[in-house]
Amino acid sequence: MLLKNKISLLRQALDQAGSYAEWKEIGLELDALTGLDLWKLDNASEHYNHELIRDRLMNLRRNMRQQDNRQLMRSLREGLHHDLGNIGNPLLYSYAHVGTKRLIEDYIDQVCLSLEHICDTELDFLSLENKRRFFEDTYHSYGQPSLMLSGGATLGLWHIGVCKALHEQGLLPKVISGSSAGSIVASIIGTHTDSELESFYDGDGLYLHAWTFKRLRDGLLGQGFADQRQLERFLRNNIGEYTFEEGFARTGRHINVTVSPVHAHHNKARLMNELTSPYLLMWSAALASCAVPILFPPVTLTTKTDQGDYQPYMPLKQWVDGSVRTDLPRQRLARLFNVNFFIASQVNPHIVPFMQSDRERLEKGRLRSWPKKVARAQVQMLGMGMLDFMRERTGIEVLRQLLDHGYGIIGQRYYGDVTIIARYTPRHYSYMLQNLDKKTLVWFRTQAERVTWPKIAMIQTHAKVGQTLDRCLNKISQQLQQQEELRPAKVIHLNTRRRHKAQLG
């Protein structure tokens, strides 16, 4: 009875933790009291190939012990994949409060140790230039993570807590995408340095007045029920007058904003970033991505010239809500930035109630879950078919946009490799189209942090290897640069000596 009471109290404390360090300490104690520490020590699980991972771990350790660096490099290149043996399976992180199987953690640690050994050891068979090439190829093969922020109106400010939780643990990806409300948070992250973000997370200096509603007559005439000029003021105050190119130069973050053309049957959705639209103003892209049909009218995008003048981007085209087609734009991110690990923060109020936990979505062999899955698939298929039929036959543009919006919502995939799902109460929904004050913003942020902390261990498993590769590449590049700086001095010195000997002769 005492043990049950203690476990109950710890679970309550876990839900009220004020920091990740506090949450982790309580979580580890709960794992010890509930026997989940023993689960971590048991290598076997149906959710991954533990024999393969153990064999790879033993090989790496043996190569290190025997100083067989050639074979160590081959082993690293052959087996370096974030989901080798299914170790990226979310179910492996759904049992314990903190961490996963010890075998997986040991394997990741050994991979990082092996990479650092190759980086720091002078190898007689490998020049420094070839060593850099090895790490470049390995880094490219391993890929990098991306954070995808969904739409969700004012509820999109939940993303601030997700970004803060990741940032504090050194896990905020360099590649971030945002749709609709998510584009606002992504753009702010992409135009503020790390030191500036600290005050942003607390709401200091953040202009919070985004919503002003217009007359009913304006909305019925197709001009939108919300004031787009006020939203533009909100965006320009918080994002600044940066283009995507300028934002990347300032922060080193690849910010991506999804926008959809008004006439989607003529053009596909676009992903705006420093590669595809370097001169486009970030606030302009976010304004278009937030242009939800009925609430806001379509937007003509704005670019900045080299002289600082503003001019229309494709003046004959108009753009709307980016989540209509690609709330979470996986394929484009993978192609442009070599992303192969996706962290999705899902806050869409019409999507969150239907999202499933990792166990509900991924566990196999549960007969009672089959009828629900079959029904879900049938409803999705029938819904898409009906909306597609109606949107192709309607002549009313506003209605067609709404049907197109609905089709996009039903047909999309809303999960990532890691999915952080907002937890809503009726109180949250009451803020959906309201301006928040600083106190409410901090309340949103704190709850989002608590939802993110259980996902930290899984994100760290992928990030640890990528960060090690990044450090090694930087170190080797610095060594090569130092060699280049020293080389001219040596040449001059040798030439001087030759001239001196010639004079003596």
Question: Which residues have a catalytic role annotated?
Answer: 180, 321
- CA pair distance 246, 309, nearest whole angstrom: 15
263-269-274-280 Cα dihedral, nearest 10 degrees: 20
Q: DSSP string covering 355-411, please?
A: ---HHHHH----GGGHHHHHHHHHHHHHHHHHHHHHHTT---HHHHHHHHHHHHHHH
Helix axes 397-411, 370-391, angle to 10 degrees: 160
Reference 289, options 147, 177, 183; nearest CA is 183
Q: How far is CA 288 from CA 211, 264, 313, in A?
A: 15, 14, 12
308 CA to centre of own chain: 31
- The burial class, CB within 10 Å (0-12 / 13-18 / 19+), for 5 is exposed
Give me the residues paired with residue 226 across strands: 213
Side-chain-side CA neighbours of residue 406 (13 Å): 17
State whether the Cα torsion 185-188-190-196 is positive or negative. negative
64-82 burial code (b ≥16 CB/10 A, e <16): beeeebeebbebbeebbeb
- CA pair distance 144, 176, nearest whole angstrom: 11
Give me the residues paired with residue 257 across strands: 178, 272
- CA pair distance 390, 380, nearest whole angstrom: 16
**What backbone torsions phi and psi does residue 392 show, to the nearest 5 degrees?**
-75, -15
- CA pair distance 10, 4, nearest whole angstrom: 10
Task: State the greatest distance between any 2 C-alpha atoms of the chain, in Å, as a whole number.
Answer: 100
State whether the Cα torsion 480-481-485-486 is positive or negative. negative
Gyration radius of the chain's alpha carbons: 26
